[in-house]
Chain A
Amino acid sequence: MIELHIRCFAQVREAFKKSRLILVIEEGISVSQFLKATIFQRVEQLGGLPLRVAVNQIYVDENHILQDGDEVALISPVSGG
């Protein structure tokens, strides 16, 4: 098992009611598997939200494999400016 440090912002923070959380998942899981099995299943209201993921401060694609201790930011559509 591996431990992930999750950062939540905007709609994701509202859904989880937290800005940071720690999740423990199986090893060898990709970003898309993580989103599907751990995030979207757990928090229904995020189901239709297009999320980008940054791991350790870098945007990654859906095939990226998560590692123990990763900081995983769930980036919902941004609205700066």
Chain B
Amino acid sequence: MVETTITENSISYEIPPHFQGDDGAELHFFGRVRKEEQGQPITRLFYDHYEGLAQTELQKLSEKVASSYEISRLYCVHRVGLVPVGEASLQVIIWSPHRGEGLEAMSAFITQLKQDVPIWKEAVFTDGRRVVVECCH
């Protein structure tokens, strides 16, 4: 089972009830907004996205990872719009019978997300400037 969402709302740290299961491994990843970009303090990130294609690519990637790795379920929420420092912009939960496949799937999923899903971040610095951030992590 795969479920993906792109939302402007805050990310909940709860597991959706219909995703509860009895797998041996349940891996949680949260990407949070750091307090600095390019060595300078920021107040928030602005996540721009290409509506439509971003959701399509996120769903397609999730399905590909779910079929390529021995995992049971994948749940992903990506936040867009303004996200303050310290808040989560990305939530990924993967369930798998054993940790190895789940960890590999998690790494592959996030790496590919940062290459294919048309979402961009802009740093909002404390002086109000907004600068497009090139992702290298």
Known A-B contacts A9-B118, A10-B120; the reply to A77 vs B50 at CB < 8 A is no
Q: Which of B17-25, B64-72, B93-101, B109-117 contacts A (4 or more CB under 8 A)?
A: B109-117
B135 lies within 8 A of A77 (CB): yes
Known A-B contacts A54-B53, A75-B50; the reply to A81 vs B110 at CB < 8 A is yes
Known A-B contacts A14-B132, A54-B118; the reply to A80 vs B53 at CB < 8 A is no
* B interface residues, how many (CB within 8 angstroms): 27
Q: Report the separation of the CA atoms of residues A58 and B115 in the bound assembly, to the nearest whole angstrom.
A: 15
* A interface residues, how many (CB within 8 angstroms): 18
B119 close to A (CB within 8 Å) = yes
Q: How far is the CB of A70 from chain B (nearest CB, A)?
A: 14
B114 lies within 8 A of A80 (CB): yes
B53 lies within 8 A of A10 (CB): no
Contact of B53 among A11, A14, A57, A77 (CB under 8 A): A57
Q: Which of A11, A54, A57, A80 counts the most B-chain CB atoms under 10 A from its CB?
A: A80
Q: How far is the CB of A8 from chain B (nearest CB, A)?
A: 10
A78 lies within 8 A of B132 (CB): no
CB-defined contacts of B116 to chain A, threshold 8 Å = 78
B118 lies within 8 A of A73 (CB): yes
B122 lies within 8 A of A80 (CB): no
Q: How far is the CB of A33 from chain B (nearest CB, A)?
A: 23
User: Nearest residue in A to B130 (C-beta to C-beta)?
Assistant: A14
A76 close to B (CB within 8 Å) = yes
Q: How far is the CB of B52 from chain A (nearest CB, A)?
A: 5
A63 close to B (CB within 8 Å) = no
Known A-B contacts A10-B122, A78-B118; the reply to A57 vs B134 at CB < 8 A is no
- 8 A Cβ contacts from A47-81 to B: 54, 57-59, 73, 75-81
Q: How far is the CB of B4 from chain A (nearest CB, A)?
A: 12
User: Nearest residue in A to B89 (C-beta to C-beta)?
Assistant: A81
**B binding-site residues for A, Cβ under 8 Å:** 31, 47-50, 52-54, 56, 78, 89-90, 110, 113-122, 132-135
| A–B pairs, 25, beta carbons within 8 Å | A10-B122, A10-B132, A11-B132, A14-B132, A54-B50, A54-B53, A54-B118, A59-B53, A73-B50, A75-B118, A77-B135, A78-B115, A78-B118, A78-B119, A79-B132, A79-B133, A80-B49, A80-B54, A80-B117, A80-B119, A80-B121, A80-B135, A81-B31, A81-B90, A81-B110
